[in-house]
Amino acid sequence: MRIVWFFILLLSLPLMAHNQTVILVYHHISDQTPPSTSTTPALFKQHLDYLQANQFKVISLQQAIHSVENNHSKHPEKSVVLTFDDAYLSIYEQAFPILKKRKIPFTVFVSTESVEKQYKAMMNWQQLKELSEAGVTIANHSHTHAHLTQENQNSDVLGRQLDIAQHLLTERLQQTPPPLFAYPYGEFNSNLQTLLNTRGWYGLAQYSGPFSRYSQKTRIPRFAIGGHYSGMTAFKLRVNTLAMPVVEELPGDPHVERMPEAFHLRFDDLPFARQNFQCFYNNHPVSNMVWKDKKVSFSVSANLSVGRSRINCTAKDSKSARYYWHTLPLFNLNPNSD
Ligand SMILES: [Zn+2]
């Protein structure tokens, strides 16, 4: 009997290693909204057609979290989660009918003040309730959509941003919202992560890389789709990425004021060849990598950009044409800029 269990364990190991999901974040689905944050309805349908034709399962965010965290054995080999930030009206008018017809689950992250004040570009509570009753997940994107890492770092002030929104979602939709929070502008720091942790919430960020058991629950990566990242080439590349097994990274807090002197990533194992691993900062390759066992260290000679920037690291899989992808986000946020 013991021998049987040993073989079952051995057979299931390769599958467990790929327990991951690519989470996408869209804003507008429309051909009349700002192109940089929009995907046209025609292109959006192409995205869904591609997923369907290539055996991707579109699962809910909650299912993805549950399945990845528990290393569920039935987790689909290729899976994608669709999320939409800000609750724009175009999601109700354009995306919802398409997704409803195809029975595809999705999540909408709402900044509650914009709904309370009935901003024209946003859904109203009645529309959000209709989505909710149709099984769509409606979740917290703060109350005012402020740059939370730039605000007064007072935890009470920040906590109110989270709790007012959660309270309004509960009241207006008459159900308990899920423990999910999408950071406005994808900006987070360790202070905000602590606030989420004390509430038992998951934090959805906005930087590249698949979600896996190696992701921290308060900074789950999502690929932003919109503008030129809506095109099919970029879309296919992103949904086919694999999660790097990163167990430690420096800097731990992406909120920095100058370019950090040293970066490192430590991996659980190396499913790719070291020579295929490469990183880019603002499209400039990082050249001075030093490997020691399963840890790579490097520095970046460029100045740190103002605003949000990132170091993208990729490596071709040894066994397929797919790419591992891990991003180190960097936030150098000037309080006076938008
Ligand atoms: Zn937003």
Q: Kindly give the distance from the C-alpha atom of residue 294 to the centroid of ligand 1, in angstroms, as a whole number.
A: 36
Domains of the chain: 2-241 (3.20.20.370), 247-332 (2.60.40.1220)
Q: Kindly give the distance from the C-alpha atom of residue 166 to the centroid of ligand 1, in angstroms, as a whole number.
A: 16
Secondary structure (DSSP) of 283-310:
TEEP---EEETTEEEE---SPPPSEEEE
Give the pLDDT of residue 28: 97
pLDDT digit string (tens) for 215-252? 999 999 999 999 888 899 999 999 999 999 999 999 98
Average pLDDT, the chain: 92
Q: What is the mean pLDDT of residues 15-32?
A: 86
Q: Kindly give the distance from the C-alpha atom of residue 145 to the centroid of ligand 1, in angstroms, as a whole number.
A: 6
Give the pLDDT band (50/70/90) at residue 58. Answer: very high
Q: How large a percentage of the chain has pLDDT more than 70?
A: 92
Give the pLDDT of residue 282: 86
Up-side HSE of residue 142: CA atoms within 13 Å toward CB? Answer: 23
Give the pLDDT of residue 261: 92
Q: Kindly give the distance from the C-alpha atom of residue 7 to the centroid of ligand 1, in angstroms, as a whole number.
A: 47
pLDDT digit string (tens) for 309-334? 999 999 999 888 899 999 999 999 86
Give the pLDDT of residue 8: 46
Checking if the pLDDT of 260 tops 90, the result is yes
Q: Kindly give the distance from the C-alpha atom of residue 132 to the centroid of ligand 1, in angstroms, as a whole number.
A: 19
Q: Kindly give the distance from the C-alpha atom of residue 41 to the centroid of ligand 1, in angstroms, as a whole number.
A: 20
Q: Kindly give the distance from the C-alpha atom of residue 230 to the centroid of ligand 1, in angstroms, as a whole number.
A: 17
Distance of CA 181 to the CA centre of its chain: 11
Q: Kindly give the distance from the C-alpha atom of residue 86 to the centroid of ligand 1, in angstroms, as a whole number.
A: 5
Backbone angles phi, psi at 272, to 5 degrees: -135, 160
Beta bridge pairs of residue 106: none
Q: Kindly give the distance from the C-alpha atom of residue 303 to the centroid of ligand 1, in angstroms, as a whole number.
A: 27
